[in-house]
Chains A and B, each alone.
Chain A
């Protein structure tokens, strides 16, 4: 089967769009340590932390260029252990789909369409998600280039329109109330929510060989960091730190305050307009990633067999009364749960694979060469 091709720009926008859903929807960084006016410094430390966490996976991606995540994992760890790892990854991606669908439906139910039943909102999400994931990497890549620049445009627009309302004294005193350890903890809790290195792991196989994965990844992380900063700073400068910490969706609340020149009002609709397609893009990406990994495990001819069942699983679980609660979502997203689920998959498993690779590299070299040469 002919592999779909995506460009490095498409992959970069996929990673940026997927990562931006989190700060765009809610800003967990506000309540992570040090939880004070130095949160913006935490972002800088977070970028460094994300880069560190991504090193093992990035090394493997570059070493195993042209191989899928399933081929890479099974080549390094052998078929049995490799399959266990891959199933774990697939389950992790499905967990992510459920979490993102839940977050999106609760947000829509709380802020935009409170009277619409959850099942309808979830259905309206599941259909485009399934379609995009079914069509594959090329379609999702084109979708990302269409959606993510618009999202970035809204971030810049809200930043500029809010300038007049910003109180710069909110971020003072700088580094006076925070300990270095708190900044480090904050960077860990925030950086550990960034899973897009796995997205690169899955989609890098579709890049042309001359494209640099490292450059794509670094660009995606840096642009994400800038956008994150452009979301966080105006939010705390306009709402104040405490109100922003209290709000479920601080950035949305900030955008509701934007007024300019007596005729720019109620522009928060632009926020929703950018956020919803971006959320759909993220869920479609993770649906595709789960399907892709499962097709690698089962040696199925196509990922398509798994797309609709995964969407149905997400749809059904999100409707369970115990799951479809703000408090459940709050717990899943909390610092005491979410980062500790993410870090093993983003860092620990790739690190184990890297160590095994380094131990077995002489034996693996001919196998890798052979696989990379085969069409």
Chain B
């Protein structure tokens, strides 16, 4: 172990500390890698801007490892990936084939399996680095921070590590997904007419089928994905009733799946149980009365059932990729049949009948007992 001080020593001053990486496929067929590298000795106060803390380095190669190694040619430092928080895949790259990248990551000892994976929606991926990052100093730090904070507030995205992606890639009963990020105009920022300011929208997910990107789910659909895969930590759900909006915060939902195979016709029964906390009731409902609570629960059951069904239906019809992992349940319930059908499971999933039932239970109604609004004033 003492050899780490000899041949394998790495002086910090000679390292290019990578915080995030973009993998892109060019029209020429070459791969382009862009690294966000920390500039040593630069503090945001001194340099006066977030972007000045890092430098961007891009290079091309006929393979991904070659394009990564080529970075050293212009940088004069060794690339260090130990602090890489996030790997971005461009749409072109993800639609082509991600397997070579995953093979490289698994084989190279210096590449970590913990960075989160995201697909960048849009034509100019490197513009990601010009986006307004709020109070974060670097893009890498922004994603590290949001991956911890967002799941505790809303479940509109997925934060999948490289290892989790590879794990799902190998799993016959579940297809992989990664997070989705796109640049949107930042209207709150004081950008000039010519030079618009952009911010990042980390919402939705990118669905894969085997090695390729096949489509996207938006933020609302991603909430449903998270519920169906038992990854939902919390979600805000609103329902309209009588011109009023009731808003509930969903606590961790519990989803169970049962599959029935009758003469080759597959029926998937999905049962979702969720606990809700009312965080807004803009009408005059008396939430102390059981029948009122029951009525609200029924509305949430109906709304959630419709939304979950719509999401599953979209995935079945448009993506034809079992990102929910129903195949795993099939394997557990019908192990013998699974061996015969696992290679065509995605097609079977696309044609399966999916029945969703939702049972919500309102647990808390907040810090007040009576409706906030006064009927006479309304």
Query: Taking the complex as formed, is A375 at the interface, i.e. its CB lies under 8 A from any CB of chain B?
Result: no
Contacts of B2 in A (CB 8 A): 124
Give the contacting residue for B106; candidates A111, A240, A241, A246; CB below 8 A.
A246
Classify chain B: how many residues form its interface, as a range: 20 to 34
Known: A116-B8, A246-B170, A257-B114. A169 touches B339 (CB 8 A): no
Q: Which of B289-307 contact A (CB under 8 A)?
A: none
Which residue of B112, B171, B333, B335 contacts A240 across the interface (Cβ within 8 Å)?
A: B171
State in angstroms the CA–CA spacing of A214 and B163 once bound together. 44
- Given A177-B335, A239-B167: A256 in contact with B4 (beta carbons within 8 A): no
Taking chain B's interface residues, is the majority helix, strand, or loop, or is none over half, making it mixed? helix
Chain A binding surface, main DSSP class = helix
Q: How far is the CA of A106 from the CA of B373 in the complex (A)?
A: 72
Q: Which residues of A contact B332 (CB under 8 A)?
A: 169, 172-173
A117 CA to B1 CA, complexed, in Å = 13
Whether a CB of chain B sits under 8 angstroms from the CB of A320 is no
| Contact A257–B7 (Cβ < 8 Å) | no
Chain B residues whose C-beta falls within 8 Å of the C-beta of A176 in the assembled complex: 335-336
B135 close to chain A: CB less than 8 A? no
Is B113 located at the chain interface by the 8 A CB criterion? yes
For the complex formed, measure the closest distance between the CB of A134 and the CB atoms of chain B, giving whole angstroms.
21
A253 with B109: CB separation less than 8 A: no
**With the chains together, A173 CA to B3 CA distance in Å?**
46
A173 with B112: CB separation less than 8 A: no
Chain B residues in 8 Å Cβ range of A257: 113-114, 163
Q: In the complex the two chains form, is B113's CB within 8 Å of A256's CB?
A: yes
Whether A243 and B3, one on each chain, are in contact in the complex, defined by CB atoms closer than 8 angstroms, is no
Q: Which residue of A lies closest to B2 (CB)?
A: A124
Which chain B residues border A172 with CB–CB below 8 Å?
Answer: 332
Closest CB of chain A to B196's CB: distance in Å?
A: 36
Chain B 275-288 against A: per-residue CB contact (8 Å), 1 yes, 0 no?
00000000000000
Complex CA gap A256/B113 in Å reads 8
Instruction: Kindly state whether residue A110 has any CB partner on chain B within 8 Å.
Output: yes
Chain A to chain B contacts (Cβ below 8 Å), 20 pairs: A112-B4, A114-B109, A116-B3, A117-B7, A120-B3, A121-B3, A169-B332, A173-B332, A177-B339, A239-B167, A240-B170, A240-B171, A242-B167, A242-B171, A243-B167, A243-B170, A256-B114, A257-B113, A262-B148, A276-B1
> Which A residues are closer than 8 A to B by beta carbons?
110-117, 120-121, 124, 169, 172-173, 176-177, 239-243, 246-247, 253, 256-257, 259, 262, 272-273, 276
Sort A-B residue pairs by CB-CB distance and give the 7 closest, nearest first. Answer: A242-B170, A176-B335, A240-B167, A116-B7, A113-B8, A115-B7, A116-B3
